[in-house]
Structure 1
Amino acid sequence: MTKLAEDSRQDQPRAARIDGKAFADKLRAEVAVDASRFAQEHGRQPGLAVVLVGDDPASQVYVRTKMRQAAEVGIASFPHLLGADASEAELLALIDSLNRDDRVDAILVQLPLPASINEKVVIEAIDPAKDVDGFHPYNVGRLSGGRAALVPCTPLGCLLLLQDRLGDLSGLKAVVVGRSNIVGRPMAQLLLNADCTVTTVHSRSRNLAEECRQADILVVAVGRPGMIGAEHIKPGATVLDVGINRIEAAEGQGQLVGDVDFAAASAVAGALTPVPGGIGPMTVACLLRNTLTAARQRVQQPQG
């Protein structure tokens, strides 16, 4: 550990805590108002189809949470639970039927899928207009071109928190740690579209700490607990920790931690998201927001 990191641990934390849960509560309340207005205008609720393949416990929890929150804001949910032995053809047939179902404005296929199913093929089978996760190549391309698109929920949640905290992001230096298709790449594109100067660093990058220390905005999404410490952070920077890692704590108890060493980073950063309670709640809230966005876009366009 560097001297900077050691000294930082001795200081009292000073970073403001960015409360993603509170912001997500506010966002869901706004979606509820808009969903009610949509239902009054169009005679039906916005509709979200959630598809789960297999019996992964974590995925089951995520799906239950999404459906419960959808119901709370006035979005109709259509759950489809397939067994672990479901074939790719069976899943594709279900997606085709959901694409043609006028009650369904948004389709979410919970990932990961069983190894026997090609995730890329499944994502590309979803109607881009109903691609609530923003993973379809059509939406990826529109985002890359700076055009309106359905955007992956976690990066969208990060952007909303940054805009709420910092206002206009134009001209700020942003560093994204991680280059996954789910978070890193779309996050970098969103920041670029917001007129930030953007650098993406990853496992092959050199001088990671030096690159990160240039950032006014640091977004970390790699899945490695505590890999970002005080030595990686520019004093006063805004740090968003997207990582959710379960580690063994005292007495064998599990503990959720992020990719950022929260105690060390708090002594240097200007603002920081905690884990849990930071980015996690924003992901589901943005899923609901995306569902409403997809519903509005569909009623404004002729249905083929």
Structure 2
Amino acid sequence: MSNDTVSKPGVTVLASKISKIYVEEISSKVNAIKNIRPNGPLLVGFLANDDPAAEMYASWTKKTSEDMGFRYELRRIDEKDFLEEAIIETNRDRQVDGIMVYYPVFGNAQDQYLQQVVAKEKDVEGMNHVYYQNMYHNIRYLDSENTIKSILPCTPLAIVKILEYLKVYNSLLPQGNRLYGKKCVVVNRSEIVGRPLAALLANDGAIVYSVDVDNVQKFTRGEGLKFKKHHVEDLGGFSADLLKQCCSEADVIVTGVPSESYKFPTEFIKEGAVCINFSSNKNFDESVKSKASLYVPMTGKVTISMLLRNMLRLIENSEKSKNP
């Protein structure tokens, strides 16, 4: 056995491999709705920034969508102030099944406003306040009969699906409690990914340490999962010592720091932990595999699969609403 094998026991798992398990399911569902969408469902993406990561994501989305029988249109908006009008017009277009916006656009609260402009019936990214409220309160359906499923934000959902694939979720436990006994660290608390992800993992039973530049918070459903939904406790201002303490027993470390210079300290990783990076920048260096058992360097292709699953669910929800 080579020294290299000894020093790097961890296995890299690519998002492209994980996403393949959803391709057949999604493609077969697209075929199953040919009677109502003969040309395939139509997804419209709005690009109003010059972010290379957004361009790459748009390119992936187009290719993946078309490979699975969807139609995809990228609409470039040169003047950001016209984006709201373009979204409203597309909300009204009955030919369009799903809408997504490549953020950041303005990079401030105006982006959160734009997320609410997208009609919830076409919100493939799951950012509408109705979906967010359900997610934070651990409510999984939109109706009292539990027949119309709520939509989850696609990147946090992708990370959940990755953790299921990696067998971090315990399938012997009841659904909704399958992360019981697990500890997770999420280094990012954006409203689009980090905070929703911490909530989802905690709602599934984990103790989650949510880390950002200002402070560290603990998301948990309480001792013995006594609460139906997660509660949040502030652990104090950020420090390397506090991060190290949170990571000492962490089974999962998820990073999403949008910086080329940021690298998660390998020495903080518990032996055998699972490490996942959803930033377009590499938040771990190669030494991660000397500590982690499994390492997922990017999540984009699983995210796109979840986005397309969300779109099919929106179509299904719409049909159920027409024929209750």
TM-score range, shorter chain: 0.7 to 0.9
Does the aligned pair in 1 maintain the 2:40–2:69 contact within 8 Å?
yes
1:271 aligned to 2:263? no
Map 1:214-253; keep pairs closer than 5 Å.
214-224=249-259, 225=261, 227-245=263-281
Does the aligned pair in 2 maintain the 1:20–1:279 contact within 8 Å?
yes
1:302 match: 322
2:210 match: 200
Cα deviations by residue, 1:158-178 (Å, 9 ceiling, x for unpaired) = 110101112424311122111
Does the aligned pair in 1 maintain the 2:43–2:96 contact within 8 Å?
yes
Cα deviations by residue, 1:136-183 (Å, 9 ceiling, x for unpaired) = 222211110112332222211111010111242431112211111122
2:162 match: 161
Residue 56 of structure 1 and its aligned partner are, at CA, apart by 4.6
TM-score, normalised by the number of residues in structure 2? 0.77
1:34 match: 29
Distance of 1:58 and 1:243 partners within structure 2: 10
Does the aligned pair in 2 maintain the 1:31–1:73 contact within 8 Å?
yes
Cα deviations by residue, 1:11-44 (Å, 9 ceiling, x for unpaired) = 5101122221111123223211111112246555
Check 1:145–1:68 CA distance in 2 against 1; reply closer, same or farther (3 A cut). same
1:286 aligned to 2:306? yes
Distance of 2:86 and 2:263 partners within structure 1: 41
Distance of 2:278 and 2:93 partners within structure 1: 34
The secondary structure found in structure 1 opposite 2:88 is helix
Counterpart selection for 1:94 from 83, 86, 91 = 86
Does the aligned pair in 1 maintain the 2:57–2:300 contact within 8 Å?
no
The share of aligned pairs that are identical, in percent, is 25
1:132 aligned to 2:120? no
Does the aligned pair in 2 maintain the 1:53–1:114 contact within 8 Å?
no
Residue 81 of structure 1 and its aligned partner are, at CA, apart by 2.2
Check 1:64–1:270 CA distance in 2 against 1; reply closer, same or farther (3 A cut). closer
Distance of 1:238 and 1:157 partners within structure 2: 15
Residue 185 of structure 1 and its aligned partner are, at CA, apart by 0.6
Residue 184 of structure 1 and its aligned partner are, at CA, apart by 0.8
Distance of 1:170 and 1:112 partners within structure 2: 31
Counterpart selection for 1:213 from 248, 251, 260 = 248
Map 1:32-181; keep pairs closer than 5 Å.
32-40=27-35, 43=38, 45-83=40-78, 85-86=79-80, 88=81, 90-114=82-106, 118-148=110-140, 149-166=150-167, 167-168=169-170, 169-171=178-180, 172-181=182-191
| Code of the aligned partner of 2:255 | V
1:182 aligned to 2:192? yes
TM-score, normalised by the number of residues in structure 1? 0.82
Distance of 1:116 and 1:42 partners within structure 2: 37
Check 1:56–1:15 CA distance in 2 against 1; reply closer, same or farther (3 A cut). closer
Does the aligned pair in 1 maintain the 2:53–2:280 contact within 8 Å?
no
Distance of 2:113 and 2:36 partners within structure 1: 36
Distance of 1:99 and 1:116 partners within structure 2: 23
Gaps of 5+ in 2: 141-149, 171-177, 216-237
Distance of 2:107 and 2:159 partners within structure 1: 30
Does the aligned pair in 1 maintain the 2:60–2:301 contact within 8 Å?
no
Distance of 1:68 and 1:93 partners within structure 2: 27
Does the aligned pair in 1 maintain the 2:179–2:205 contact within 8 Å?
yes
Check 1:115–1:12 CA distance in 2 against 1; reply closer, same or farther (3 A cut). closer
Give aligned pairs, total. Answer: 276
Distance of 1:183 and 1:57 partners within structure 2: 19
